[in-house]
């Protein structure tokens, strides 16, 4: 065990499990770990019951009221989360159904717990009404009869009474709105009537429950809704965040009370539900953005206060302790001496016990002994009171108060508040008169009285912070579910998801995208610890699972598109130095990436009690998107001919560049591995991938068979006349240009640039082939190409030329050559490089070569004049032959000297009067043509 412990210590020392990334969501405080000092139920009130009988009775009333407020809150949660069980029970189809009795028995068994819960709720409400009656009677007796010694009531009683009134009113309204219990009670009554028995409930109780649940069925729209510096800072922070939370809740309440319609909001359809009118279509884009920013501020302050709680709570306790002790020893003790001197009987009776109860100093032996036995010593006579007063007063003016990081209990604060109330209300018959207090003492007591309004909340710092930031009501929609008779609404209606999608699509708010998810955390905690409903928690969890998957997909898609746009822009900068599209995107891309930076590095997002690595989830999505994008680029290449290989290589370069940028934030699969996976092998027997198989297939079956070579431009092009059959290619699956290049504008610019490379097959295309084909396959490719070309020359071209010469012409080679020149669109090249035409051009310039004797020049036996005459005849013959081809086989643009396609003349050519004799007709004696040189 020691060895294992030592190894763990070494791992902790050597391995850093934390990261330096800022957390965008606040840390959650584990349930049950927050320390609660103040207890509104005053459970320790019995210990101090002997201090003053009147205060003890008031403390008992306050304790009872607080207890019933808590019970009312529990029943409120039970009612809110109640779902009708009778709807899930199979209904009786007919009175003659054989299993009728068994069905009724099962109905009773299922509904009995709910009926018992209704009975307990009815009993609670009756007891609460009885308690309220007693308290009101006590208050009436106190104020009407005007007893001076009990004329003042502490705020703890009145505030708890008001809280109970509010809770009872809310619970009763909710009971009137919810129909679940009424439906279940009706089904229970029906089953009991048919079985003629009443298990656990008599007829009178049943009628009472029916009347109780059926009364006041009017529906109302609910609102779903130590160190003074450290203490002041914490109090100010709590008040500020509470005001922000209240602003959001008030806005939501106003929206619920003022739903929109199709006339106010044109996006609102006519047949939508009331909940859609109140939530989905009731918030403008500006309001949603403002709500997201306020939510971000709330959660930011909450996270900072949570992280500082370990420092703030001790200081808060120390400050409250010091304030109470300073007043007790600095004001109460002099007042006690003055009351004894002036014979203020009530003050002399109450103050000594109060000082002993609240004081943190051992001011008397009797007080110390009483504290040891959990009871406070109260003087029996005036002599004892004077003696105790003399012992309690500390003669030293500079009181050395102890510094303790523990605040007073709720009971101590209640008694102290009651005493301050009776001391400061002079006109109502308090313990002292106004002249008994100096201005400094009065100000000190009033200051403490005002501060005590916040002491209870500050002593429960974690719980108060949770209440001040509780926005769980923004998810709950039980009232509208009741109105619509629906089990649940679609996720698109949910306000947290609406805010999440708004933040996700708005530039500049990407770091706040996860903030609205905190509403799900609050709703889930409310469902488990307040409503105690597993059903509601399951609904929240299901919605979170669906929404979070969509959120991660959309974030990954946006990140992918952003980096694709950046890669495309850089590629455009390489290809086109000046691009308006590039200039318009350059300024926004870096800012867009920066706005994503904080979100991409989140590894510890708390959601429903789970720690989620957002970076890892986005990484998985980007990995899949990159593989799919590479596969789509290969598929687009497979759907086109070999001329698109340069565009394909550029697309792969964009993919590689985008992968490089993404790898700066994520641990993606290496690009070559992705390419190899998508390229794959065509079949198990072949070692060629999809890319190599496509290149080889296109070169052998299309380029060598259907393309012509232009020696002037040194490139292959597809001529108009194609002798081989066209290759059928499977069309590529339609893919968004945004996913390929990042945006529509960049896609248009890139496509325009790449289209210029798809017209011919040039040297750069051949270079792309060399780069894309693996080195060990290059020899096989060259060998297959040479064999294919050689085979075509011997088996296709050679027999065709031989048959052409043999069957068609007497000057077959001359006519066949000119036919090839015409059909291939090489008339201009033929005229430019034909030596006879060049000689005639020289003769036409007027330059005539002569000898020194004046006779015409000659070269050997060749007379130049005769040669010129024969050259003219040959050129005229060439022109007539080409005109003949043009008449019988006109090209689409009616040009014989350009790169035009071949098309046959219409069958009715003779009828149109444009018939030109064929070569055989031209060879007859009457034909006016030159047939030989």
What is the distance between the alpha carbons of residues 810 and 241, in angstroms, rounded to a whole number? 104
Tell me the CA distances in angstroms from 852 to 849, 862, 865, one per residue in order.
10, 18, 17
DSSP state of 908: G
Q: 255-264, 396-405, 544-553, 757-766: which has the minimum mean pLDDT?
A: 396-405
**Average pLDDT in the chain:** 76
Question: How many whole angstroms from its chain centre is CA 712?
Answer: 59
Q: Which residue, 585, 587, 670, 574, is CA-closest to 630?
A: 670
Percent of the chain at pLDDT > 70 equals 73
Q: Which residue, 137, 117, 114, 136, is CA-closest to 125?
A: 117
Q: What is the pLDDT of residue 105?
A: 81
Q: Is the pLDDT of residue 732 over 80?
A: no
Quick: pLDDT tens for 880-912.
888 888 887 777 654 444 443 333 344 444 344
What is the distance between the alpha carbons of residues 612 and 595, in angstroms, rounded to a whole number? 21
Query: What stretches of 855-917 show up as alpha helix (H) in DSSP?
Result: 864-888
Q: Across 186-190, 355-359, 484-488, 824-828, which has the greatest mean pLDDT?
A: 484-488
Q: 113 has which bridge partners?
A: none
What is the distance between the alpha carbons of residues 482 and 220, in angstroms, rounded to a whole number? 12
CB atoms within 10 A of CB 150: 19
Q: Is the pLDDT of residue 248 over 90?
A: yes
Quick: pLDDT tens for 745-783.
888 888 888 888 888 899 999 999 988 887 877 887 888
Quick: pLDDT tens for 141-196.
776 555 544 456 667 777 888 888 788 888 887 777 777 777 777 778 777 777 76
More confident residue, 498 or 118: 498
Q: Is the pLDDT of residue 695 over 70?
A: yes
Predicted confidence band of residue 21 (pLDDT cuts 50, 70, 90): low
Exposure string for 380-395, b = 16+ CB within 10 A, e = fewer? eeeeebeebbeebeee
What is the distance between the alpha carbons of residues 295 and 250, in angstroms, rounded to a whole number? 14
Q: Is the pLDDT of residue 95 over 80?
A: no
Quick: pLDDT tens for 256-313.
999 999 889 888 998 888 999 999 999 999 999 899 989 988 988 888 888 888 888 8
- CA 46, 47, 51: angle at the middle one, nearest 5? 95
858-859 and 715-717: which strand pairing?
unpaired
Q: Is the pLDDT of residue 602 over 70?
A: yes
Establish how many alpha carbons lie within 13 A of residue 843's alpha carbon, considering only the half-sphere containing its beta carbon.
16
Helix axes 439-459, 228-257, angle to 10 degrees: 60
| For range 459-470, the mean pLDDT | 92
Q: Is the pLDDT of residue 70 over 80?
A: yes
Quick: pLDDT tens for 609-665.
888 888 888 899 999 999 999 999 999 898 888 899 999 999 999 999 999 999 988
Predicted confidence band of residue 369 (pLDDT cuts 50, 70, 90): very low
Q: 176 has which bridge partners?
A: none
- Three-state DSSP at 862 gives strand
Q: 17-21, 327-331, 794-798: which has the minimum mean pLDDT?
A: 17-21
Q: Which residue, 531, 600, 538, 530, is CA-closest to 563?
A: 600
More confident residue, 562 or 578: 562
What is the distance between the alpha carbons of residues 40 and 332, in angstroms, rounded to a whole number? 25
Q: Dmax of the chain from CA atoms? A: 171
What is the distance between the alpha carbons of residues 508 and 592, in angstroms, rounded to a whole number? 8
| For range 831-853, the mean pLDDT | 68
Burial (Cβ within 10 Å: 0-12, 13-18, ≥19) of residue 515: buried
DSSP state of 199: S
What is the distance between the alpha carbons of residues 554 and 605, in angstroms, rounded to a whole number? 17
Q: % helix / strand / coil in the chain, to the nearest 5? A: 65, 0, 30
Predicted confidence band of residue 593 (pLDDT cuts 50, 70, 90): low
Q: What is the pLDDT of residue 913?
A: 42
φ, ψ at 202 (rounded to 5°)? -90, 175
- Three-state DSSP at 581 gives helix
610-612 and 605-607: which strand pairing?
antiparallel
Q: Residue 772: which residues within 8 A CB-CB, separation 6 or more?
A: 645, 648, 649, 691, 692, 695
Q: Is the pLDDT of residue 433 over 80?
A: no
Predicted confidence band of residue 201 (pLDDT cuts 50, 70, 90): low
Q: What is the pLDDT of residue 496?
A: 93
Q: Is the pLDDT of residue 396 over 50?
A: no
With beta carbons less than 8 A apart as the criterion, state whether 31 and 606 touch. no
Tokens of 658: 């985008």
605-607 and 715-717: which strand pairing?
unpaired
**CB pairs under 8 A, 24+ apart, for 536-539?**
536/81, 539/488
DSSP state of 863: E
Q: What is the pLDDT of residue 241?
A: 93
With beta carbons less than 8 A apart as the criterion, state whether 152 and 428 touch. yes
Which DSSP helix (H) or strand (E) runs through 858? strand 858-859
DSSP state of 5: H
Hey, where are the domains in the chain? Answer: 1-14+38-205, 560-596+615-777, 812-847+859-889
Q: Which residue, 11, 31, 19, is CA-closest to 613?
A: 19
Rounded to a whole number of angstroms, the CA Rg of the chain reads 48
With beta carbons less than 8 A apart as the criterion, state whether 274 and 484 touch. yes
Q: What is the pLDDT of residue 710?
A: 81
Q: What is the pLDDT of residue 427?
A: 58
Q: What is the pLDDT of residue 376?
A: 39
What is the distance between the alpha carbons of residues 355 and 440, in angstroms, rounded to a whole number? 20
With beta carbons less than 8 A apart as the criterion, state whether 761 and 642 touch. yes
With beta carbons less than 8 A apart as the criterion, state whether 778 and 688 touch. no
Q: Residue 928: which residues within 8 A CB-CB, separation 6 or more?
A: none
Q: What is the pLDDT of residue 542?
A: 92
Which DSSP helix (H) or strand (E) runs through 606? strand 605-607
Predicted confidence band of residue 20 (pLDDT cuts 50, 70, 90): low
Quick: pLDDT tens for 313-339.
888 988 888 888 888 888 887 887 777
What is the distance between the alpha carbons of residues 629 and 541, in angstroms, rounded to a whole number? 33
Question: How many whole angstroms from its chain centre is CA 555?
Answer: 7
Q: Is the pLDDT of residue 386 over 80?
A: no
With beta carbons less than 8 A apart as the criterion, state whether 431 and 423 touch. yes
With beta carbons less than 8 A apart as the criterion, state whether 66 and 154 touch. no
Q: Residue 720: which residues within 8 A CB-CB, separation 6 or more?
A: 825, 891, 892, 899, 900, 901, 902, 903
715-717 and 708-710: which strand pairing?
antiparallel
With beta carbons less than 8 A apart as the criterion, state whether 414 and 59 touch. yes
What is the distance between the alpha carbons of residues 516 and 498, in angstroms, rounded to a whole number? 9
pTM of the model as a whole: 0.64
Query: What stretches of 373-488 show up as alpha helix (H) in DSSP?
Result: 382-392, 410-424, 439-459, 461-468, 478-484
Q: 94-103, 243-252, 803-812: which has the minimum mean pLDDT?
A: 803-812
Q: What is the pLDDT of residue 353?
A: 78
What is the distance between the alpha carbons of residues 309 and 295, in angstroms, rounded to a whole number? 21
Predicted confidence band of residue 349 (pLDDT cuts 50, 70, 90): confident
Q: Across 350-364, 781-795, 882-896, which has the greatest mean pLDDT?
A: 781-795
Establish how many alpha carbons lie within 13 A of residue 898's alpha carbon, considering only the half-sphere containing its beta carbon.
8
Q: What is the pLDDT of residue 531?
A: 87
Q: Which residue, 592, 581, 590, 747, is CA-closest to 654?
A: 747
| For range 205-231, the mean pLDDT | 55
Quick: pLDDT tens for 507-535.
767 778 888 999 999 999 999 998 888 98
610-612 and 708-710: which strand pairing?
unpaired
Q: Which residue, 295, 309, 291, 254, is CA-closest to 521?
A: 295
């Amino acid at each position: 065990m020691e060895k294992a412990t030592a190894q763990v210590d070494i791992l902790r020392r050597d391995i850093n499990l934390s990261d330096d990334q800022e957390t965008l969501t606040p840390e959650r405080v584990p349930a049950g770990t927050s320390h609660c000092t103040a207890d509104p139920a005053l459970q320790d009130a019995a210990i101090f019951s002997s201090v003053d009988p009147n205060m003890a009775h008031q403390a008992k009333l306050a304790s009872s009221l607080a207890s019933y407020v808590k019970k009312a809150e529990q029943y409120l949660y039970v009612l809110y989360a109640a779902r009708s069980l009778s709807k899930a029970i199979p209904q009786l189809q007919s009175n003659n159904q054989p299993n009728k009795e068994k069905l009724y028995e099962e109905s009773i068994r299922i509904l009995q717990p709910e009926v018992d819960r209704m009975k307990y709720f009815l009993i609670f409400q009756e007891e609460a009404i009885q308690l309220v009656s007693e308290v009101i009677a006590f208050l009436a007796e106190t104020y009407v009869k005007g007893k001076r010694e009990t004329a003042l009531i502490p705020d703890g009683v009145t505030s708890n009474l008001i809280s109970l009134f509010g809770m009872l009113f809310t619970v009763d309204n909710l009971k009137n709105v919810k129909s679940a219990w009424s439906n279940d009670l009706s089904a229970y009554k029906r089953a009991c009537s048919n079985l003629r028995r009443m298990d656990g409930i008599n007829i009178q109780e049943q009628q009472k429950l029916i009347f109780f649940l059926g009364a006041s069925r009017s529906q109302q729209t609910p609102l779903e809704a130590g160190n003074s510096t450290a203490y002041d800072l914490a109090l100010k922070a709590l008040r500020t965040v509470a005001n922000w939370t209240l602003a959001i809740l008030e806005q939501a309440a106003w929206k619920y009370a003022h739903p929109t319609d199709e006339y106010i909001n044109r996006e609102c359809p006519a047949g939508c539900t009331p909940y859609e009118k109140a939530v989905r279509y009731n918030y403008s884009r500006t309001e949603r953005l403002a709500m997201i920013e306020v939510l971000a501020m709330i959660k930011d302050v909450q996270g900072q206060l949570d992280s500082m709680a370990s420092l703030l709570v001790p200081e808060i306790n120390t400050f409250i302790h010091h304030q109470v002790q300073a007043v007790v020893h600095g004001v109460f003790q002099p007042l006690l001496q003055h009351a004894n001197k002036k014979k203020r009987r009530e003050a002399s009776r109450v103050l000594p016990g109060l000082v002993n109860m609240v004081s943190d100093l051992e001011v008397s032996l009797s007080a110390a002994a009483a504290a040891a036995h959990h009871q406070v010593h109260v003087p029996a006579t005036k002599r004892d009171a004077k003696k105790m007063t003399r012992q309690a007063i500390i003669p030293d003016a500079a009181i050395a108060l102890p510094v303790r990081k523990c605040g007073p209990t709720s009971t101590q604060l209640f008694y102290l508040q009651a005493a301050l109330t009776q001391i400061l209300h002079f006109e109502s018959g308090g313990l002292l008169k106004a002249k008994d207090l100096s201005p400094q003492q009065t100000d000190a007591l009033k200051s403490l009285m005002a501060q005590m309004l916040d002491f209870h909340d500050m002593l429960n710092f974690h719980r108060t912070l949770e209440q001040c930031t509780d926005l769980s009501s923004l998810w709950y929609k039980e009232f509208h579910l009741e109105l619509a008779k629906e089990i649940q609404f679609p996720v698109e209606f949910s306000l947290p998801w609406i805010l999440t999608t708004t933040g996700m699509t708005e530039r500049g708010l990407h770091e706040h995208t996860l903030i609205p998810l905190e509403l799900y955390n609050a709703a889930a905690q409310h469902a488990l610890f307040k409503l105690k409903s597993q059903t509601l928690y399951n609904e929240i969890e299901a919605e979170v699972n669906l929404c979070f998957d969509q959120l991660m997909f959309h974030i990954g898609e946006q990140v992918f598109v952003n980096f694709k746009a950046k890669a495309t822009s850089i590629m455009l900068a390489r290809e086109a130095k000046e691009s308006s599209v590039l200039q318009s995107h350059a300024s926004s891309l870096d800012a867009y990436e920066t706005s994503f930076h904080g979100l991409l590095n989140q590894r510890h997002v708390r959601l429903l009690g789970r720690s989620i690595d957002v970076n890892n989830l986005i990484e998985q999505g980007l990995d899949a998107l990159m593989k799919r994008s590479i596969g789509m680029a290969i598929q687009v290449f497979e759907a086109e001919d070999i001329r698109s290989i340069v565009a394909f290589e550029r697309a792969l370069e964009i993919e590689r560049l985008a992968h490089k940028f993404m790898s700066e934030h994520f641990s993606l699969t290496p690009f070559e591995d992705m390419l190899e996976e998508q390229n794959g092998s065509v079949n198990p027997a072949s070692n060629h991938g999809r890319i190599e198989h496509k290149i080889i297939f296109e070169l052998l079956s299309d380029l060598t068979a259907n393309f012509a070579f232009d020696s002037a431009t040194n490139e292959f092009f597809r001529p108009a006349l194609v002798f081989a059959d066209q290759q059928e290619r499977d069309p590529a699956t339609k893919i968004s240009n945004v996913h390929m290049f990042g945006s529509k504008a960049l896609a248009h610019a890139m496509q325009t640039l790449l289209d210029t490379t798809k017209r011919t097959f040039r040297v750069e295309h051949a270079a792309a082939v060399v780069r894309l084909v693996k080195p060990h396959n290059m020899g096989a490719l060259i060998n297959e190409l040479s064999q294919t070309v050689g085979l075509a020359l011997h088996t296709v071209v050679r027999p065709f030329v031989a048959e052409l010469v043999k069957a068609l012409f007497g000057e077959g080679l001359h006519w066949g050559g000119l036919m090839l020149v015409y059909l291939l669109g090489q008339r201009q090249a033929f005229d430019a490089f034909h030596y006879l035409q060049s000689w005639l051009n020289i003769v036409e310039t007027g330059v005539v070569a002569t000898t020194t004797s004046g006779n015409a020049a000659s070269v050997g036996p060749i007379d130049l004049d005769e040669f010129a005459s024969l050259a003219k005849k040959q050129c005229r013959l060439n022109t007539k032959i080409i005109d003949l081809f043009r008449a019988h086989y006109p090209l689409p643009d009616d040009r014989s000297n350009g790169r035009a396609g071949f098309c046959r003349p219409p069958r009715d050519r003779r009828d149109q009067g444009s018939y030109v004799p064929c070569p055989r007709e031209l060879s007859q004696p009457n034909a006016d043509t030159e047939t030989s040189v």
